[in-house]
Structure 1
Amino acid sequence: MGFAEEHSKWVDFHKKRRNGERLDRLERGHGHGEKLFVERVWWPIFGHMDDLHPEYEVADWRGRPYFVDFVWKRGQIKMAIEVKGYGPHVQQMDRTRYRQELNRETYLQIAGYQVVAVPYDDLESAPDLTISLFKSLLAPSLLINTEGLEHQYTRLEKEIMRIAVRWDGLIRPADLVKGLGVHPRTVRKSLTRLCEKGKLRPVPANGSSRVCRYEYIPSIMDSGIW
């Protein structure tokens, strides 16, 4: 399943769990810039939107509700992500609003959030730069619990993932059987386990429910298993 379908499912998932102003804010606030960030930065890094919350409600220092473009929550990690454009609304922002925005960002850090501002213009013209910066920013958080990570995958599973990377992310069971000299049943079991672990995604043939290929789901944690 590609980004458009996964993004739609992700937004619907959060809509079903909201009502009132929280639902209205999600419908109004998750616009072009926010979707661009998910599509051009988050999706290429993770291949999914797990633990990423759009238009997330927090309270500011006055106790008033405030919605952050995205909050990423993973265990004890909390990151607040704001997509910021330089448009008329920024140019015309009065001093009071500007001061409040800075105070909110400071308060978020006091509340335990790491605050990250993403330039909208870079999402359109230089997403690779933003991806690189985010990988460096996220890596320490993701690698905290990598001790013993290599034991989560069998030798065959790791070899299948290596092959998938070399083959531009797509592999066929028949090619694995031929290339690795492994019984088809063993290959199928390993492919199923990798799907369950979130490392592969089955790709049905056109106009059919029959799975003929598998797509590799990248992660910046993968360096810990090679």
Structure 2
Amino acid sequence: MTFQNAYQQWLDRQVAEPLSEGQQHRLAEGHGHAERMFLQQIWYPAFRHFDGLHAEYEIADFKDGSRYLDFAFVREPIKLAIEIDGYDTHLGKANRWQFSDNLMRQNHLVIDGWHILRFSYDDITSRPRMCEQLLQQYMGCWLGSGRGML
């Protein structure tokens, strides 16, 4: 199956799930360019499917609000948050409050049992094979050897 067909089927399934208003809004806007590039350049070549992967995954935050993970892969024994970070959005244009808030968000994810993999947009576009290998290595560590293959 081509990436485009697999991606469209996966996205249609995502939209068909019961979603919060925030998730509906974020998915209706469509994936950002960086998130789609991650799927096309990294995830799909690594696994050839999107099973278990959720876009714009909503989590409760420590301030009784909602936050969204770019992607979540949830399968026992892991909860993996995947974040795609552009330089301008996450560092270049961030003010001090945004910088601190982003670090605190990640700390709370870790406390709540999430594993986090972050990929820069530059790595996705310039070094996709390195990113793919890192993701496969992670999955092999947590899901390989009889633990429940991907």
TM-score by length of 2: 0.91
Q: How does 1:1-226 map to 2 (within 5 A)?
A: 1-17=1-17, 18=19, 20-28=21-29, 30-87=31-88, 90-145=91-146
Q: Which has the larger radius of gyration?
A: 1
Deviation at residue 39 of structure 1 after TM alignment: 1.0
Shift in CA distance, 119/89, structure 1 to aligned 2, threshold 3 Å: closer
Deviations 1:142-166 (A, max 9, x none): 214259xxxxxxxxxxxxxxxxxxx
Select the structure with the greater relative contact order (CA < 8 A; seq sep ≥ 6). Answer: 2
SS in 1 for 2:45: helix
Q: Quickly say closer, same or farther: Cα 1:28–1:98, change in 2 above 3 A.
A: farther
Q: Which amino acid aligns with 1:13?
A: R
Identical amino acids, percent of aligned pairs? 33
Distance 2:83 2:89 in 1: 17
Runs of 4+ aligned residues of structure 1 deviating over 6 Å after TM superposition are: none
Q: Per-residue deviation at 1:27?
A: 2.6
Q: 2:20 and 2:116 mapped to 1: Cα distance?
A: 26
Tell me how far apart the structure 2 counterparts of residues 26 and 33 of structure 1 sit (CA, whole Å): 14
Aligned length: 149
1: CA distance, partners of 2:89 / 2:34: 15
Structure 2 CA distance for aligned equivalents of residues 89 and 73 of structure 1? 25
Structure 2 residue runs without a partner (length 5+): none
What TM-score results when the alignment is normalised by the length of structure 1?
Answer: 0.62
Using the TM superposition, give the Cα deviation of residue 87 of structure 1 relative to its aligned residue in structure 2, in angstroms: 2.0
Task: Tell me how large the CA RMSD over aligned residues is.
Answer: 2.0
Deviation, 1:91, is 1.5
Contact 1:30 1:69 in 2 (8 A): no
Structure 1 unaligned regions, length at least 5: 148-220
> 1:90 Cα shift?
3.4
